[in-house]
């Protein structure tokens, strides 16, 4: 009796671990993993089949830094004066209730799935358990946290009563996340929004509990200066000296780095998430140097309010920024090759999501299919290059996460798009402050 497979992707092409296009293969998926890659689908039985003759499959993209709570801020941040998070983002997030937070997560999930993002790291909100309910229903892979700070200037609804209670809340959140798909992170909002005691206790708890920790790092030059004035040293150097880097650490942004800080990052295996669109208004990271040092670097969108959740656009923008800022000075047009950009986008070791990012036998089936039957991908001498140069999230036809089809032919299978859209319009109609809240 022949085996009944879960999914067969037949007559298709895919990007292999060497970032090469392999053509005319059949990919077999069972129990959430790629169980085989064959020359033909002949004789195979399956519950679900997708003909891939015009498709290019690749690992799902991983967004290393999003803000679920800011999804309803879309369109508000462009052309705002710095520092945006203090003047706009935090006050806005403080007014969200559970219903609005649920909607924000639903819209974020729709946007990510439709643009090829299969996993992400969230920067935190008031209601991570609400986010978890949505992302579990959507079938996404994520790391979630609480917005954690004790800054007296923050709104009371976002401020922890004490460092002890902040750590207790993080541990409560971690205990509430079940299964393999949704995992916890510990965090503080940013070093300049936390007391020294809170900073210490969160990172010490992360090391003790074996849970990675994250915080916005070296995002604004002014914040680095403020940190030095307060602690006497640059952020990464201070963290190492105080013994806080025993915890696995993710440092989104990390734009303004000295050679000494890069040494600290390398020696402590700190992971970095660059956010190209968002960071363009702040500074240019030293990514070529970081990669040469073997530092793990991924991409983040910084949330939908900073230009959307399409990592294809982030890759393309980042390529241009790197060539202009680093490549021109040394006449090196390939300062950030297409293959390296793709690896940064879907090899998630940089973001503590190991075991993903490769289409090969035995790996988890987190995969997306690009429609190559479009004019800007037809005449190509190098499909990998053309994908980086021209593809966008709307070219994603199918999204599979953990062996489950969550979008097929751009139709969502786990979320009710029309209900979410109707809810969004109704919510904004009932709450005009969402549009004009200042």
- pLDDT by residue for the chain (438 residues), tens digit each? 579 999 999 999 999 999 999 999 999 999 999 999 999 999 999 999 999 999 999 999 999 999 999 888 877 777 677 777 777 777 787 788 999 999 999 999 999 999 999 999 999 999 999 999 999 999 999 999 999 999 888 888 888 999 999 999 999 999 999 889 999 999 999 998 899 999 999 999 999 999 999 999 999 999 999 999 999 999 999 999 999 999 999 999 999 999 999 999 999 999 999 999 999 889 999 999 999 999 999 999 998 878 899 999 999 999 999 999 999 988 898 899 999 999 999 977 677 887 799 999 999 999 999 999 999 998 899 999 999 999 999 999 999 999 999 999 999 999 999 999 999 888 777 765 555 545
Two tokens, residue 319: 């390529």
Residues sharing a CB contact under 8 Å with residue 259, sequence separation 6 or more, in sequence order = none
First to last CA, the chain: 67
Give the Cα separation of 310 and 276 in Å (integer). Answer: 11
Global pTM exceeds 0.75: yes
Residue 357 gets which letter from DSSP? Answer: S
Dihedral of CA 435/300/343/336: which sign?
A: positive
What domains are defined for the chain? Answer: 4-59+359-412 (2.30.40.10), 61-351 (3.20.20.140)
Burial 291-307 (b: 16+ CB within 10 A, else e): beeebbbbbbbbbbbbb
CA–CA distance, 151 with 170 (Å, rounded to integer): 17
Q: Which tokens belong to 349? A: 């070791």
359: left (phi over 0), alpha (psi -120 to 50) or beta: beta
CA dist 18 and 4 (Å) reads 30
Give, as one character, the DSSP assignment of residue 256.
S
Q: What gap in Å lies between CA 64 and CA 261, rounded to an integer?
A: 21
């Amino acid at each position: 009796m022949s085996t009944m497979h879960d999914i067969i992707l037949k007559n298709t092409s895919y990007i292999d671990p060497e970032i090469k296009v392999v053509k005319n293969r059949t990919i077999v998926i069972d129990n959430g993993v790629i169980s085989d890659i064959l020359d033909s689908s002949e004789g195979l039985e399956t519950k679900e089949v997708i003909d891939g003759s015009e498709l290019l499959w690749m690992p799902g993209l991983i967004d290393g830094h999003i803000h679920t709570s800011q999804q309803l801020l879309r369109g508000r941040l462009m052309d705002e004066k710095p520092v945006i998070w203090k003047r706009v983002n935090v006050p806005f997030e403080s007014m969200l209730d559970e219903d609005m937070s649920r909607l924000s997560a639903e819209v974020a999930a729709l946007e990510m799935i439709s643009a090829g993002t299969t996993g992400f790291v969230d920067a935190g909100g008031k209601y991570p358990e609400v986010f978890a309910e949505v992302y579990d229903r959507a079938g996404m892979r994520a790391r979630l946290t609480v917005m954690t700070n004790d800054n007296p200037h923050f709104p009371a609804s976002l401020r922890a009563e004490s460092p002890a209670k902040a750590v207790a809340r993080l541990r409560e959140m971690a205990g509430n996340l079940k299964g393999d798909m949704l995992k916890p992170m510990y965090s503080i909002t940013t070093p300049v929004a936390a007391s020294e005691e809170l900073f210490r206790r969160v990172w010490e708890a992360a090391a003790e509990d074996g849970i990675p920790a994250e915080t916005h790092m070296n995002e604004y030059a002014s914040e680095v200066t403020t940190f030095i004035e307060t602690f006497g040293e640059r952020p990464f150097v201070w963290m190492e000296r105080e013994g806080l880097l025993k915890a696995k650490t993710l440092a989104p942004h990390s734009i303004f780095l000295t050679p000494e800080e890069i040494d600290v990052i390398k020696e402590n295996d700190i992971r970095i998430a660059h956010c190209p669109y968002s960071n363009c208004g702040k500074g240019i990271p030293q990514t070529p140097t970081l990669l040469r040092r073997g530092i793990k670097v991924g991409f983040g969108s910084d949330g939908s309010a900073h230009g959307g959740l399409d990592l294809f656009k982030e890759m393309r923008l980042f390529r241009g920024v790197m060539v202009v800022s680093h490549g021109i000075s040394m006449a090196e047009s390939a300062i950030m090759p297409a293959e390296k950009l793709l690896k940064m986008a879907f090899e998630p070791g940089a973001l503590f999501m190991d075991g993903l990012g490769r289409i090969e036998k035995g790996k988890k089936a987190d995969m997306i299919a690009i429609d190559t039957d479009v004019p800007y991908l037809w005449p190509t001498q190098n499909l990998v290059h053309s994908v980086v140069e021209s593809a966008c999230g709307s070219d994603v036809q199918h999204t599979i996460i953990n062996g489950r089809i969550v979008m097929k032919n751009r139709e969502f299978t786990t979320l009710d798009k029309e209900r979410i859209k109707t809810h969004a319009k109704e919510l904004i109609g009932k709450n005009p402050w969402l549009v004009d809240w200042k």
